Amino acid sequence: MDRINVNKPYLPDMDRYKKYLDRIWKNHHLTNFGPLSIELEEKLCEYLGVDNLLLVSNGTLALQIAYKVLDIKGEVITTPFSFAATTNTLLWEGLKPIFCDIDSETFCIDEQKIEPLITSATEAILPVHVFGNPCEAESIDKISKKHNLKIIYDAAHAFGVKYKNKSVFNYGDISTLSFHATKLFHCIEGGALIAKDKELIAKAKKIINFGLSNSFPELLGINAKNSEFHAAMGLCILEDMDIIFQERQKIWEYYYKELKDFFCVQKISKYANNNFHYFPILLENEEKLLNVLKTLEAKNIFPRRYFYPALNTLRFNLVHQDCPIAEDISNRILCLPIYMGLSQKDQDKIIEGLKF
């Protein structure tokens, strides 16, 4: 019996990928802002409807570079309901995460709870577009302007999402993306920064190349560039995005039709489109969730407790902050398998295992 994982990375046509590899072999440019990387940046700007985009090695480094570019220090208000990288990057850079609880229906940061957390040490807000569902960006923007705070959006899941008819990446000072193999659009490994201010991208470009300017170390930097081989994969997959979205929509909508009367599902923002990246459901309680997992795993089906645990409960955080909604949802949420090639027959097996 074939194993059904929560995700299966999409691979484009091999011959098409090889044509890009032939260009690499011809010009011998393997990394360091090569022609394929530049081409991918330009095509992504056009596809996503943004002006400035910089490819980097991965989405985690994208966040760390964003903090450096904006010179963030002190406290950063963020969500406890996200992947570990959101908190890890803050702690790694010596910043202090201040956790704001989430909305119980959208799973995004509750913008109405942000202001009471702002102190004289607060320098930025780090919201997450959870499972690609946009935060209340305009409300967060008003808060940031009122208190002179920077906004960095962790937009790892939000590829192709529009908010009020424009790219969700046009909100905030910087949006960071992940192009990991499990994402809708991927480069095997990779990430990006997007900013309206081209000077921020210019500074980031120096930082990811050891801080060099014309081979001279102008500022403190690291190596966070991506290679031509990763860019080649991205260029191939970008050509297939319409097909990817169409097939994932069919899978998502079948789940929704079959399960909406049995489980709570994420409420998608009325101002945004659904990119069908994930299909999370809420179980009645953690005990029920563990029983469902046991049943599905016996059938060789492996959904994921995503995101679990709530980040405010991690033992290496300096201070525990109660976020009851995030903690509750984290304990009973399950993301179901969704990927290109998942058959309706396999979906029926998953659905059957959920309804015992």
Pick the CATH number of 240-354 from 3.90.1150.10, 2.40.37.20, 2.60.120.20, 3.40.50.300: 3.90.1150.10
Q: What percent of the chain has pLDDT over 90?
A: 95
pLDDT for residue 1: 62
Among the residue ranges 43-57, 100-114, 215-229, the one predicted with the least confidence is 215-229
> Which of 3.40.47.10, 3.40.640.10, 2.70.98.10, 3.50.50.60 is the CATH number of 14-239?
3.40.640.10
All structural domains of the chain with their residue ranges:
14-239, 240-354
Query: What percent of the chain is modeled with pLDDT above 70?
Result: 99
As annotated, the active-site residues are 183
pLDDT tens digits, 226-284: 999 999 999 999 999 999 999 999 999 999 999 999 999 999 999 999 999 999 999 99
pTM to 2 decimal places = 0.96
Is the per-residue pLDDT at 317 higher than 90? no
pLDDT of residue 356: 58
Q: What's the average model confidence in pLDDT over 291-297?
A: 96
Q: How high is the pLDDT of residue 97?
A: 97
Reported as a pLDDT band with limits 50, 70 and 90, residue 22 is very high
| Predicted confidence (pLDDT) at residue 168 exceeds the cutoff of 70 | yes
- For 70, 72, 314, the CA distances from 94, given in Å and listed in that order, are 14, 10, 16
Report pLDDT digits (tens) over 57-82.
Answer: 999 999 999 999 999 999 999 999 99
